[in-house]
Amino acid sequence: MMQRTAVPVPVGLRRWITGIEVASAEPAGEHVLAHVPDGAAALVFRVTADQRADLLVAGPRTRASYNVGEPVPLYIRARVRPGRARPLLGTPLNQLTGHVVPLSQLWGEAADRLTGELARLGPRPSAGLIRACIETAVRDRLAVQSRHDLARTDLLCAAIDELTPTGRRLEPLPGLARKLAVSERQLRNLFTDGVGVAPKRLASISRVRYVLAHASRRRWAQLTADCGYYDQSHMAAEFRRHMGTSPQAFAAGHLPPAQPC
């Protein structure tokens, strides 16, 4: 099974990184990994069973995937805050949606250096060393970004905040554009470039992730209200569209057939 541990995100990175996770998967027994939809990109470092070290970028994902897990001695995942990946990665996010690519394709030698630094931490690195490596790499990338690009990122994040489940139905895109003093076309272009998915799709993914995070502690009716769904059938249909199964089946562990990684 996959053993996961959360690493506290350094205070100075919390605008950019929402979470750092360290994990390992033992070779004993077959297990299924559910990769849930996510409007965020992530930096992923892994050491495979044959001791190969990879540093990857996982782009935004609009549908869940279910894979048969393989032995992984070390897995580190840093989730980039939605809307803030464009200046950090240096490429439009719509080019990464649904894909996993080597970070070296985007960062070149800087990615190779970070891969080496993480590989030298050993099979059971301390949280402090992991944080230090990631913080240095992120700060180096942000130091060379223009104020204009960072301002666009702040505007995009303000729009994304309006698409987070808050117990109300979401404002239509024209109203959101007026609130942010941009045109609807500008706002759509910001999402394409900086998020990789359209505003409506991001809102849909955010609602499903909210249901996944709170299903064990709240009733379906409460989750329906929390996310601004019209009714439970609306919630179930949206959940199935992204997860490939119903909320009840997923909660009971009845998952779609797993595919090899």
- Cα–Cα distance for residue pair 143/88, rounded to 1 Å: 10
Interval 146-157: pLDDT, tens: 988 899 999 999
Can you read off the two tokens belonging to residue 140? 């180096």
pLDDT at 232: 94
Domains of the chain are: 2-143 (2.60.40), 147-260 (1.10.10.60)
Task: Give Cα separations from 11 to 65, 126, 208 (angstroms).
Answer: 32, 18, 28
The radius of gyration of the chain from alpha carbons, rounded to an integer in Å, stands at 19
Render pLDDT for 13-49 as a digit per residue (tens, 0 to 9). 999 999 999 987 766 556 778 899 999 999 999 888 7
Q: What was the pLDDT predicted at 234?
A: 95
Q: How confident is the model at residue 167 (pLDDT cuts 50, 70, 90)?
A: low
Mean pLDDT throughout 87-99?
A: 96
Q: What is the pLDDT of residues 63-87, one digit of tens each?
A: 999 988 777 888 899 999 999 999 9
pLDDT at residue 143 tops 80: yes
Q: Are 165 and 63 in contact (CB under 8 A)?
A: no
At 113-135, the pLDDT tens digits run 999 999 998 888 888 999 999 99
pTM of the model: 0.90
Provide long-range contacts, Cβ within 8 A and 24+ apart, for 135-142. 135/10, 135/12, 135/13, 137/110, 138/13, 138/16, 138/17, 138/88, 139/12, 140/110, 141/87, 141/88, 141/90, 141/107, 141/110, 142/16, 142/87, 142/88
Q: What tokens does 173 get?
A: 């895109």
178-227 per-position pLDDT tens digit: 989 999 999 999 999 999 999 989 999 999 999 999 998 899 999 998 88
